[in-house]
Structure 1
Amino acid sequence: MRALAAALVLTWSGAQAMVLAPTVTTGAAPDRAARGSVPSGVWVPVGSGEALSLLRVPRSCVQACALVVVSHPRGQSAAHLRDSASASVLTSALIHAGFAVLLSGDGGPTSWGSPAGLAALGQVHAQSTDLFPWSGRTYALGLSMGGLMALRSALPGAPYPVEGVALIDGWVDLRVAWGSAVSRREEIGAAYGLPDPPEDLNPAWLARTWGRLPMLVFGSPDDRTVPFERNGEALWAEAGEPDVGGLVRLSGGHLGGNRFTPEVARQVAAFYRTLERRR
């Protein structure tokens, strides 16, 4: 279903990196004439309560543009991402590349990719895509805990299709998160409404059984919060599409500054642009 592009599996220490630049094809955008509009270049609230999210549409989105949904780390919110100088490096690059960006509330600060959080995101996504000339294509970016939501949104049973997933220090294996600390276990139990969520609610398990996906995965073996070997590395090996995206190994601890450099932002934007051109 997907055309070949240049594979990328890198080792990166500090700020050294590469990015793929394949040749791909384009397709016609659907007619969005009936859609509403929001002011471009500013963050616009969508949804309410724990689902409150923030949408920003680039000024270049005149006819149609794709949407990148950004899922936040544990204990944070869409407003945290908006106000974060680090996260702004990523979102600014996406806006500059012509993508609309939705900073997702994910159904709350500790939703852990739960069905309730996914349903809340689905409602916000539907509201958001009625507010600008959406091309019909969505991509996901997950930071830390947000990796679970980003990956889950790209798998069967999600409320909308996702064309590709980028992860930065992302949790993807719910069982590993569950077993890593009592506090996480309590939050996951509350989010899922179950004393022990079954494997078929685990995004990593679903990804392994569903098939390979376009992914760009950043992480570090030095991360003591999210074990990279059991999350991003394992996911890429078992479910990453080998001919696009890649695995980028960084150095340093969890969500360190080298995750939010202009070079990382460029790679993320280029990954989505690659998928846009190969459609």
Structure 2
Amino acid sequence: MLLLWGSAHAASSAVPAVPVPAPVPEPARGAPVQALDVLGVRSYLLVPGRCPTGGCALVVVSHPRAQDAARMLRSTGVPVLTGALLQAQFAVLLSGDGGPTTWGSPDALAEVAQAHLEATGRFRWNGRTYALGLSMGGLMALRSALPGSPYAVSGVALIDGWSDLRGAWGSAMTRREEINAAYGLLTAPGPELDPLQQAYLAPMLPLFVAASPDDTTVPARSNGERLFTLAHPALSEYVPLTGPHLGANRFSADMARRLSAFFQRLEQGVTARKR
């Protein structure tokens, strides 16, 4: 099976050389690409050709370990997801996440908040933000939706996403070293730094969680499945997958449709409450 992102989360520190095509794939050409630079880290903003009268919501997409926003933009998989979001009239911020191995740290979230502020000033924004995290990006997506986040997030989607920071820290020495550097730690992160532990103390979130028991990189049972026990029951969706970490079925037309429909349901719920 083709792996669109390779095995960049493997315990080894080596990152496989996955070819990146030079041109932006068709699904990303549905909207102009705007570059945003915050503290030397680049993010990209994609805006639909026309926002509705009330404006567009924004989806912030956080990348896997050792990736960046340019890799997402040029990949063969992520634009399938973002293309569906653009078609549904969501603006999309492909986030640099403060760097390639920030593991959802509070400092990195503060940098993402600056990109969010700049991005929302560049289009007709309706005031609502959603988050999508891929693999390591699940930590950033989840942290952004918890109390104390510098910007409000109304729903979170994780695809093969980490949510258990302490579990990631204990799973491999390379991850441990990266997490310690990102968080400024010498020992394991405490529960106050772990997005999953903090989610237990927060109101139930609207969650879209896609995970596979075949994933040997991000264990579904201790991440996606465990997080989903905290999901808002009426607004959430769990998508059981098969196959390895970030395999091709994570970036299929069906996944794009389901992901887009999840965010659309949340938007429609806001509209219905305003009537």
Partner in structure 1 of residue 109 of structure 2: 118
Taking every aligned residue pair, what percent have the same amino acid on both sides? 56
- TM-score w.r.t. the length of structure 1 is 0.84
1:149 aligns with 2:143: no
Which amino acid letter does the alignment assign opposite residue 262 of structure 1? Answer: A
State how 1:83-122 maps to structure 2 within 5 Å. Answer: 83-122=74-113
Q: Within 2, Cα distance between the matches of 1:54 and 1:71?
A: 11
Tell me what 1:248 maps to.
Answer: 239
1:1-279 matches, cutoff 5 A: 41-61=31-51, 63=53, 64-195=55-186, 196-237=188-229, 239-279=230-270
Residue 222 to residue 43, structure 1, CA distance change in 2 (3 Å): same
- Aligned partners of 2:64, 2:118: CA distance in 1, in Å? 23
Distance 1:271 1:249, change over 3 A: same
CA distance in 2, matches of 1:158, 1:182: 29
- Alignment correspondent of 1:36: none
Tell which has more relative contact order, 1 or 2 (C-alpha 8 A, sep 6+): 1
Deviations 1:197-220 (A, max 9, x none): 221110000111112100010000
> Match for residue 5 of structure 1?
none
Q: Distance in 1 between matches of 2:248 and 2:39?
A: 30
Equivalent residue letter for 2:77: S
How far has the Cα of 1:47 moved from its partner? 2.0
1:49 Cα shift?
4.7
Q: CA deviation at 1:247?
A: 1.1
Q: Is the 8 A contact 1:58 1:96 kept in 2?
A: yes
Residue 41 of structure 1 and its aligned partner are, at CA, apart by 1.5
Contact 2:38-2:115 at 8 Å conserved across structures = no
Could you tell me how far 1:245 is from its partner in structure 2?
A: 2.2
Residue by residue over 1:244-279, the C-alpha shift from the partner in whole angstroms, topping out at 9 and shown as x without a partner, is: 121111000000001000110001100000000101
CA contact (8 A) 1:144 1:170 kept: yes
Task: Give the aligned partner of residue 27 of structure 2.
Answer: none
| Residue equivalent to 1:3 | none
Aligned residues: 240
C-alpha displacement of 1:62: 5.3
Query: Cα RMSD (Å) of the superposition?
Result: 1.3
Amino acid paired to 1:41: A
Partner Cα distance (2:158, 2:41) in 1: 21
Q: What amino acid sits opposite 2:244 in the alignment? A: G
* 1:54-85 CA distance string (max 9 Å, x none): 00100121541000000000000000000011
Q: What are the Cα deviations for residues 107-146 of structure 1, in whole angstroms up to 9, with x where unaligned? A: 0000000011100000110011011110000000000000
Structure 1: runs of 5 or more not aligned: 1-39
Structure 2: distance between partners of 1:128 and 1:48: 11
Cα separation, 2, equivalents of 1:153 and 1:48: 17
1:194 CA drift (Å)? 1.0
SS in 1 for 2:166: helix
CA contact (8 A) 1:51 1:104 kept: no
Amino acid at match of 1:225: T
